Structure 1
Amino acid sequence: MISIGMGTTSVLHRRLADAFHLAAEAGFDGVEIMVTSDPDTRDPRVIKALSARYGMPVLSIHAPVLVLTTFVYGLDARVKLQRSVELARHVGASTVVVHPPFRWQVIAARGFESAVRELTEATGVTIAVENMFPVTVRGRDREAYAPSWNPGDLAVDALTLDFSHAALAGVSSLDLAEQWGDRLRHVHLCDGSSVEPNDRVFDEHLLPGRGAQPVAEVLQLLARRGFDGALIAEINTRSCGSDDSRRLALLRETVQFAREHTATRSREVAAQRRSLVSDR
């Protein structure tokens, strides 16, 4: 069964309670919490109370790997990941999302794959490594992440696909989904305006279907595979400002898009199976 959740990144700079409220109002199945400098995002008591209040389970935890969260959980990348996994276990989340280390984090990069494997084996929490992108400097691509921006190149078992990041990398998210196969366990649902390597833009996180990435095709592929992970809406709603009615409309559009393109394909697969049974 595919769960459709809302990432708190969709409403950054809002209180955590606001995120749970909007997720419930928009019809999501649960939430993904980005660990930030907001202490509520790191407090399992607060998170569990909000989860119970709004009937929104915590589907996943996003480790504090952004530049803005450099000092959250300390500077040691392995400790950051370990504490994120501990938080996930406390709040009942089955998955932790993490980015590959930055290239200048030499020690963290060297032990990243083994850390992911060891923590997964020790805790049973799925650690899904997210695709990132090269950084273009003076017209030339520079690898900002190590061992690679493409987690498909890494010796890890679970991967997260972000459509906006695929656009920045100038690759098709459908190509990534096909290459990764069953290692694709988690999705950040959004869109990007490019699939061409020379057409770089900023990290847009558009609503799914409003960009150039083959988002619908990827969701249909996952439904055919019997994907049982989570689709987490990670859309940019900053333009809404304080207008939550407009923000809610964008979130509901995202939920509808996800349900339409997973349910349609699921119904087709079910019909094919019924046909095969009746022919026997």
Structure 2
Amino acid sequence: MIRIGMSSTCVYPLGLEDSFRLAKQAGFDGVEIMVTRDEATQDAAALTALSERYSLPIFSIHAPVLLLTHFVWGRDPRVKLERSAELAGLVGASTVVVHPPFRWQAGYAEDFLDIVRELGAGTGLQIAVENMFPWKIGGRGVKAYSPGWDPTVMDCAAVTLDFSHCALSGQDSLAMATALGERLRHVHLCDGTGSLDEGRVFDEHLLPGRGTEPVAEVLRNLAAVNWDGTIVAEVNTRTARTEPERLALLTETLTFARDHTREL
């Protein structure tokens, strides 16, 4: 069966150990660690200890690519990616998730695909480039990413498909998964509507089945071809007022994944 993991971002703003504890309680097979300003997310020994304490393997490391992690491991995005790969190797993860560069990261953006290919070949890890979405400022399109936000047209060996980002970009996630073929190695399980609120687009990360993306169809198709990649829940549970409510949201997400990845 396809392994189903949970991203540490699912329990934000709770701490790192809470992510392991709740993932274990919900029944996930493993975890993905988003590298943040929390030093424990950068520490192989601390992560390994938590992995062993909760008997949950670390499937993947998400490189620090958010604006809030701008100063984690310095300012050089190449160093951030290389250190993420080093961390993945130390904790036994097989995948590093990375976003395409911002256009203003000029040197890194120009060399990004070469860096990804070289790092994957040199480490044996899957450096899985995540699909993003177009930006709009003042109603006008802005080229925020370089070489772009759509990895289907990039020369990279591994891709992470994020359903919420598909919704924001107006892409059909089923068509994207089909187009990627064997390059699809990692899935961020969530959903989205691409909705607007006062002209702003929100990256919703809804629970699967609560948005408009064909999440169930994509999962069933992956199961039908005995796909050997990893699915990791990356859902927003910040509406939960209590721990039982948050756990119920996580359990619902896992149940959805299990129901649609059962062997046919």
TM-score by length of 2: 0.96
Task: Give the Cα separation in 2 of the matches to 1:176 and 1:140.
Answer: 25
Matched, 1:75 2:103: no
Partner of 1:53: 53
| Structure 2 stretches lacking a partner, 5+ long | none
Alpha-carbon offset, residue 121 of structure 1: 0.7
Partner of 1:238: helix, strand, or coil? coil
Task: Give the Cα separation in 2 of the matches to 1:132 and 1:209.
Answer: 20
Partner of 1:187: helix, strand, or coil? strand
Moved more, 92-101 or 137-146: 137-146
Task: Give the Cα separation in 1 of the matches to 2:10 and 2:121.
Answer: 31
Partner of 2:240: 240
Conserved 8 A contact 1:191-1:212: yes
Task: Give the Cα separation in 2 of the matches to 1:215 and 1:137.
Answer: 29
Structure 1, residues 122-174: CA drift from partner, whole Å, max 9, x if none?
11011000000001122222221110100111110000000000111111111
Partner of 1:262: 261
Partner of 1:14: 14
Partner of 1:220: helix, strand, or coil? helix
| Structure 1 stretches lacking a partner, 5+ long | 268-280
Partner of 2:249: 250
Kindly name which structure, 1 or 2, has the bigger radius of gyration based on alpha carbons. Answer: 1
Partner of 1:64: 64
Percent of matched pairs sharing the same residue: 59
Instruction: Call closer, same or farther: CA 1:151–1:195 in 2, change over 3 Å.
Output: farther
Task: Give the Cα separation in 2 of the matches to 1:227 and 1:68.
Answer: 34
Task: Give the Cα separation in 2 of the matches to 1:226 and 1:52.
Answer: 28
Conserved 8 A contact 1:37-1:72: yes
Partner of 1:93: 93
Task: Give the Cα separation in 2 of the matches to 1:2 and 1:76.
Answer: 35
Task: Give the Cα separation in 2 of the matches to 1:178 and 1:141.
Answer: 27
Partner of 2:191: 191
Conserved 8 A contact 1:194-1:213: no
Partner of 1:96: helix, strand, or coil? strand
> Aligned partner of 1:179: which letter?
A
Partner of 1:26: 26
Higher relative contact order (CA 8 A, sep 6+): 2
Task: Give the Cα separation in 2 of the matches to 1:8 and 1:222.
Answer: 24
Pairs within 5 Å for 1:122-141: 122-141=122-141
Alpha-carbon offset, residue 82 of structure 1: 0.3
Partner of 1:239: helix, strand, or coil? coil
Task: Give the Cα separation in 2 of the matches to 1:62 and 1:194.
Answer: 23
Moved more, 200-209 or 77-86: 200-209
Conserved 8 A contact 2:219-2:260: yes
Matched, 1:36 2:32: no
Structure 1, residues 28-80: CA drift from partner, whole Å, max 9, x if none?
00000000000000111110111011011000000000011011011111110
Task: Give the Cα separation in 2 of the matches to 1:223 and 1:101.
Answer: 31
What is the number of residues matched between the two proteins? 262
Once superposed, what is the RMSD of the aligned Cα atoms? 1.4
Task: Give the Cα separation in 1 of the matches to 2:150 and 2:118.
Answer: 20
Task: Give the Cα separation in 2 of the matches to 1:31 and 1:200.
Answer: 31
Conserved 8 A contact 1:96-1:125: yes
Partner of 1:236: helix, strand, or coil? coil
Partner of 1:87: helix, strand, or coil? helix
Partner of 2:261: helix, strand, or coil? helix
Instruction: Call closer, same or farther: CA 1:247–1:2 in 2, change over 3 Å.
Output: same
Alpha-carbon offset, residue 195 of structure 1: 9.2
